[in-house]
Chains A and B, each alone.
Chain A
Amino acid sequence: DQQVKQNSPSLSVQEGRISILNCDYTNSMFDYFLWYKKYPAEGPTFLISISSIKDKNEDGRFTVFLNKSAKHLSLHIVPSQPGDSAVYFCAAPNFAGGTSYGKLTFGQGTILTVHP
């Protein structure tokens, strides 16, 4: 049961334009979401997060939007740069077993390619 879904395996954008990466979730109990970025041959790195008490969180060129009624979040990158080319994962805390212990459930990932 994939509780966090990224339905677009890949996205290609031009440098300077906006990149929008989408993520859907099925569990209405999720109250916190994170985005991770992963370059080839490296581990994922934390990018930005959002709590369900907010509908937007911004950090420089990166903004995450949360639509709780639609169970949907999106990551906007403006302006996109070639160095943003990476795999992006959304994630939510995993409470399977009753206690999270910080566990996360990840989406399948979206490969972003930013062309110069």
Chain B
Amino acid sequence: DAGITQSPRHKVTETGTPVTLRCHQTENHRYMYWYRQDPGHGLRLIHYSYGVKDTDKGEVSDGYSVSRSKTEDFLLTLESATSSQTSVYFCAISEPGLAGVSYEQYFGPGTRLTVT
């Protein structure tokens, strides 16, 4: 199994509070991603990183920010949590292959976030 951990695994927070989720990898993979999983929507990309300090928005980035100060850590911050951000959040990693890109991603175990 790829060495990916997420913390916390479960969190309940109140509307309006900031929340930070952490993803830590031991694989030294260059690319990292944050997804959210919701019923009927599958996995949707929030933000991604293609290197240290290099990040960009995904398809559902509003209300979220990210930071990557070192290869192994990718943080997702909900600036002011809302009930619509209640979801399961997954971190994933991948590494460019010899052909320039590898599409195979390895996922962490997920964080279940409830905003009340």
Interface residues in chain A, defined as those with a beta carbon under 8 Å from any beta carbon in chain B: 6, 9, 32, 34, 41-46, 49, 89, 91, 93-94, 96-97, 100-109
Contacts and interface: CB of A to CB of B under 8 A. Distances in A.
B41 A102 contact: no
Contacts of B90: 43-44
Given A101-B31, A102-B96, A103-B33, A93 B103 contact: yes
Main DSSP-derived SS at the A contact region = loop
A103 B105 CA distance: 9
B56 interface: yes
Nearest to B1: A45
A42 to B, nearest CB: 6
Interface string B56-91: 101100000000000000000000000000000010
A3 to B, nearest CB: 10
Nearest to B29: A102
Nearest to B31: A102
Interface string B3-38: 010000000000000000000000000010101000
A43 B103 contact: no
A109 B44 CA distance: 12
Contacts of A89: 42-43
